[in-house]
Amino acid sequence: MGQPPPRSASLSPVATRRHRLGARFRRCVAAAAGALALTVGLITVSPAASAAGLTQVTGFGTNPGNLSMYAYAPDALPAGAPLVLALHGCTQSAGDYYTHSGWPKFADAYGFALVLPQTSSANNANSCFNWFEPGDSARGQGEALSIRQMVDKAVALYGSDPRRVYITGLSAGGGMTANMLAAYPDVFAGGAVDSGLPARCATSVSAAYTCMYSPPDKTPAQWGDLVRSAAPSGTASWPRVAIWQGTADTTVRPANADELRDQWTDVWGIGQTPSRTESLGAGTTLSVYDDPSGRPAVQVYSVSGMAHGLAVDPGSGPEQCGSTGTYYLDTICSSYHTARFWGLGGGQGTGSLPAPTGLSVTATTDSTVSLSWTAVPGAASYVVRRGGTKVGTATAASYTDTGLATGTAYSYSVAAVDTSGAEGRVSPSVTATTSGFTPTCHTASNYDHTVAGRAYQSGGQTYAKGSGQAMGLWNTFTTHTLKQTAPDHYVLADSGCSP
């Protein structure tokens, strides 16, 4: 099919048709409030990208989808580094996603360029990517082609490795991500669909509602055929796909995660029974579906109690990221786990050795954690990571981590290293908690307690973290003493506090 001409600021025939669709859709929205997070909605918002460090890039191609390209590249980024594209949700912008999603942190930490495509109200009344429009989501057309052209531009600008290009998106951006993975499996090595939809689930506005609220219960083969028919003929290599979904999402029902899993496991030719599951904390369960070589091909992250949005975890820890906001929900850092799944920062390794099995905690003290695992044939050594950061190496199948804080939980993983120095795949993580705890006392205003993470505010009132004890108004004039009695647990101690 031919590609539509570039759209200008005035309404083209395509844009005029979309506005007519938008008018009809808004009448439907009156009977289905809440869907605005994915499709054309009730409020027209077109914020500009303005976050520090984010730069607009122009001249990236014919841009038939009338999108804007924003990018962030860490200083001294080497040639051959990976490239990540991140697509915002409805009512959001590139700058908004840059600020809240946590991706810039890992661009710095792991060394990759970051591209954030941006749509606008000229394309969609609620600034959503048109994931449900065939003319915008198929290979070589509309918005999909504009995003593809951004990849070429970024590879040329930053010297990115075209074999390590990844794409992720939230909500409508997640729906578009699934379609991009289907249409361009030759471009993307991996993707992540956050609170999104299966590829090619909808080809009209009305069908979009069906997908969101009650996705079609197709067989895995039927879902897989939709991907295969969107991809170039003869495609035999597919991207690795992460799927993120909150169990309390009423905008994109959790059933969508099941259909996404069925779709991409079928594309990979693997079953729908997970190879293993594990708890990541924060109510998140990870289900892993390995390819025939034992490497994860599809991963499903189910976040218990999370509503519609992107999972973030504000903080400075190595596994934390992002900041809260509308559709940015404080649970777990999805960007960290997605990056590790793709192998950025050594997550999946580049060597051929399998992931060590049987990783377990053999002992803990106030300041140490001892680990053991099953030896991997051919391993010359092992890399041990705490919270995703390398903390040591071992030549035997055991390791003791020292100098830790008392009463604190730590997450560990291990990878085998071959004789050439190549690190293999990473084991599932285990959590260890050191013993003991030294209480501490803190006197400050309610506002400062909240900023420091010792308390939280709700409805203008302040409550001690952990105990939930009421502390009064959230302001700088009300002062209390809090005693920390356990990790993340504080109690009021105004009458006296001794560590």
Percent of the chain topping pLDDT 90: 67
pLDDT at 267 over 70: yes
Report d(CA 154, CA 162) in Å as an integer. 10
Tokens for 43? 């409020």
Q: What is the pTM of this model?
A: 0.68
Residue 350's pLDDT is what? Answer: 54
Amino acid at position 115, single letter: V
Residue 8 lies in a domain: no
What is the domain-level CATH number for residue 239?
3.40.50.1820
Residues 399 and 295 in one domain: no
Residues 446 and 426 in one domain: no
Residues 315 and 456 in one domain: no
Residue 355's pLDDT is what? Answer: 87
The residue with greater pLDDT, 460 or 34, is: 460
What is the domain-level CATH number for residue 397?
2.60.40.10
Residue 94 lies in a domain: yes
Q: What's the structural domain count of the chain? A: 3
* pLDDT band, residue 6 (cuts 50/70/90): very low
- Kindly report the average pLDDT of the chain as a whole number: 87
Choosing from 323, 346, 369, the residue where a domain stops is: 346
Choosing from 413, 433, 453, the residue where a domain stops is: 433
The residue with greater pLDDT, 128 or 408, is: 128
Q: What are phi and psi of 114, to 5 degrees?
A: -125, 125
* pLDDT band, residue 294 (cuts 50/70/90): confident
State the distance between the two ends of the chain, measured CA to CA, in whole angstroms.
72
The residue with greater pLDDT, 49 or 140, is: 140
Residue 54 lies in a domain: yes
Residues 330 and 259 in one domain: yes
Q: Quick: pLDDT tens for 425-465.
A: 888 888 898 998 878 899 999 999 988 999 998 888 999 99
When mean pLDDT is compared across 4-8, 53-57, 264-268, 412-416, the lowest value belongs to 4-8
DSSP state of 189: S
Residues 128 and 240 in one domain: yes
Strand partners, 430: 412
Choosing from 389, 417, 433, the residue where a domain stops is: 433
Average pLDDT, stretch 110-131?
96
Residues 66 and 131 in one domain: yes
Residues 180 and 272 in one domain: yes
Report d(CA 256, CA 217) in Å as an integer. 9
Residue 95 lies in a domain: yes
Q: What are phi and psi of 420, to 5 degrees?
A: -90, -5
Residue 351's pLDDT is what? Answer: 64
Report d(CA 154, CA 115) in Å as an integer. 8
Average pLDDT, stretch 82-102?
97
The residue with greater pLDDT, 301 or 424, is: 301
Residues 429 and 366 in one domain: yes
* pLDDT band, residue 349 (cuts 50/70/90): low
Residues 295 and 389 in one domain: no
Q: Is residue 411 classed as helix, strand or coil in its secondary structure?
A: strand
Residue 352 lies in a domain: no
pLDDT at 215 over 70: yes
* pLDDT band, residue 243 (cuts 50/70/90): very high
Residues 335 and 383 in one domain: no
Provide the domain limits for residue 276: 13-346
Average pLDDT, stretch 308-318?
94
Report d(CA 345, CA 149) in Å as an integer. 26
Residue 17's pLDDT is what? Answer: 40
Residue 291 lies in a domain: yes
Residue 15's pLDDT is what? Answer: 39
pLDDT at 421 over 90: no
Q: What is the number of alpha carbons within 13 Å of residue 398 lying toward its C-beta?
A: 7
Residue 123 lies in a domain: yes
* pLDDT band, residue 278 (cuts 50/70/90): confident
Residues 71 and 134 in one domain: yes
Residue 497 lies in a domain: no
pLDDT at 246 over 60: yes
When mean pLDDT is compared across 8-17, 100-109, 198-207, the lowest value belongs to 8-17
Q: Is residue 359 classed as helix, strand or coil in its secondary structure?
A: coil
**Which residues are tagged catalytic?**
171
Residue 390's pLDDT is what? Answer: 76
Amino acid at position 166, single letter: Y
Percent of the chain topping pLDDT 70: 88
Residues 249 and 368 in one domain: no
Q: Which residues contact 425 (CB under 8 A, 6 or more apart)?
A: 294, 295, 348, 349, 353, 354, 355, 415
pLDDT at 43 over 70: no
Residue 438's pLDDT is what? Answer: 79
Residue 281's pLDDT is what? Answer: 86
